[in-house]
């Protein structure tokens, strides 16, 4: 475990490859403040700490406690050659990949990874760029391995994030009252894998841009089974077949997604 808050702040910033100047600019503080946090002369508190965690891509809880760092960090916490080697082998094991397969996922030369892991006596170090690409691949693969929340839980999370009550959403959807809407947030009552396309179309108009961070169209259309990462590859026929909707409905969805762009 990295011993102090300052140590963990410095480690997380380094793994995110963010300079003190860039961190200061993003957090709207002085470079001296960043340095003081990392040396322990001062400590960030409350919302500031959450902003730092978001910027560095780590849980605020880990920054505060240092507990279970390897569970949360997508990169090695020990940046020595042995530490990076151990991290690579651990990730290969947890993802059920060979070092060669992991290298291909990261789009780096497999011989570079294999030589680093298996030839400890050879003076060979991985470049910062190579480590970064592997970290990105690990984050992507681990994210794909985590089951998505149920559609009812996802809808509830978006509503709460938007700061709306069930009454607010029910009224906007044209439902009789909150009880008519509540079933869509209750997994015991709503058994569908996705929400109806007509409902998601209305939710898109209600929720986009609300909350912090602002809710995106992609997050909302994922409720209908159209993930944000894939929607630019969708066409009318794809939407019509995959969602069992009419061509008119598919055309309307396609137009909305194109209008929203990459958001």
Closest by alpha carbon to 254, among 230, 206, 210, 169?
230
Which pLDDT value is given to residue 61?
64
Q: Which of 125, 145, 165 is the last residue of a domain?
A: 145
- The range of the structural domain enclosing residue 130 comes to 81-145
Tell me, yes or no, whether 244 and 162 share the same domain: yes
Percentage of residues in the chain with pLDDT exceeding 70?
Answer: 71
For residues 173-185, give the mean pLDDT.
86
Tell me, yes or no, whether 247 and 160 share the same domain: yes
Contact 211, 162 (CB under 8 A): yes
The region that residue 235 occupies, defined by phi over 0 for left and psi between -120 and 50 for alpha, beta otherwise, is beta
Tell me, yes or no, whether 60 and 100 share the same domain: no
Contact 35, 26 (CB under 8 A): no
- What is the CATH classification number for the domain harbouring 49? 1.10.260.40
pLDDT one-digit tens code per residue, 204-242: 889 999 988 888 888 888 888 765 434 444 433 344 334
Q: Which of 72, 99, 127 is the last residue of a domain?
A: 72
pLDDT one-digit tens code per residue, 124-151: 778 878 888 888 888 777 665 544 567 8
Tell me, yes or no, whether 234 and 183 share the same domain: yes
Non-local (6+) Cβ contacts of 255 within 8 A are none
- What is the CATH classification number for the domain harbouring 90? 1.10.260
Whether 253 has a pLDDT exceeding 90, the answer reads: no
Which pLDDT value is given to residue 72?
45
Which pLDDT value is given to residue 37?
93
Q: What angle do CA 204, 208, 214 make, to 5 degrees?
A: 150
Tell me, yes or no, whether 140 and 155 share the same domain: no
Tell me, yes or no, whether 88 and 26 share the same domain: no
Which pLDDT value is given to residue 120?
56
For residues 72-100, give the mean pLDDT.
72
Tell me, yes or no, whether 94 and 36 share the same domain: no
Question: CA-CA distance, 53 to 12, in Å (whole number)?
Answer: 8
* Global pTM value: 0.38
Using DSSP, state whether 71 is helix, strand or coil: helix
HEC profile for 140-187?
HHHHHHCCCCCHHHHHHHHHHHHCCCHHHHHHHHCCCCHHHHHHHHCC
Contact 109, 103 (CB under 8 A): yes
Question: CA-CA distance, 160 to 222, in Å (whole number)?
Answer: 17
Structural domain total, the chain? 3
Tell me, yes or no, whether 50 and 87 share the same domain: no
Tell me, yes or no, whether 227 and 171 share the same domain: yes
Tell me, yes or no, whether 85 and 141 share the same domain: yes
Q: Which of 145, 167, 193 is the last residue of a domain?
A: 145
Tell me, yes or no, whether 38 and 92 share the same domain: no
Question: CA-CA distance, 67 to 124, in Å (whole number)?
Answer: 31
pLDDT one-digit tens code per residue, 110-122: 888 888 877 755 5
Tell me, yes or no, whether 116 and 179 share the same domain: no
Q: How far is CA 214 from the centre of its chain?
A: 14
Average pLDDT, the chain: 76
Of 6-15, 40-49, 94-103, 248-257, least confident by mean pLDDT is 248-257
């Amino acid at each position: 475990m990295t011993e102090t808050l300052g140590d963990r702040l410095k480690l997380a910033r380094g793994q995110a490859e963010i300079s003190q100047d860039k961190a200061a600019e993003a957090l709207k503080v002085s470079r001296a403040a960043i340095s003081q946090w990392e040396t322990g002369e001062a400590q960030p508190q409350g919302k500031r700490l959450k902003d730092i965690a978001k910027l560095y891509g780590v849980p605020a809880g880990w920054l505060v406690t240092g507990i279970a760092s390897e569970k949360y960090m997508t990169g090695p916490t020990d940046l020595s050659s042995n530490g990076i080697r151990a991290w690579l082998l651990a990730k290969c094991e947890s993802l059920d990949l060979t070092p060669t397969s992991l290298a291909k996922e990261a789009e780096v030369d497999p011989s570079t990874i294999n030589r680093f892991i298996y030839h400890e006596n050879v003076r060979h170090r991985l470049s910062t760029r190579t480590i970064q690409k592997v970290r990105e691949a690990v984050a992507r693969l681990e994210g794909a391995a985590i089951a998505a929340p149920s559609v009812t839980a996802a809808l509830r999370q978006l509503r709460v994030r938007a700061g709306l009550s069930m009454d607010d959403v029910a009224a906007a959807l044209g439902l009789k009252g909150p009880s008519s809407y509540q079933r869509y947030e209750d997994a015991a009552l709503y058994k569908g894998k996705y929400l109806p396309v007509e409902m998601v179309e209305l939710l898109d108009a209600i929720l986009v841009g609300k909350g912090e961070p602002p809710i995106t169209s992609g997050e909302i259309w994922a409720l209908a089974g159209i993930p944000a990462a894939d929607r630019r590859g969708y066409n009318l026929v794809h939407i019509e077949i995959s969602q069992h909707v009419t061509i008119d409905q598919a055309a309307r969805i396609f137009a909305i997604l194109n209008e929203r762009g990459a958001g």
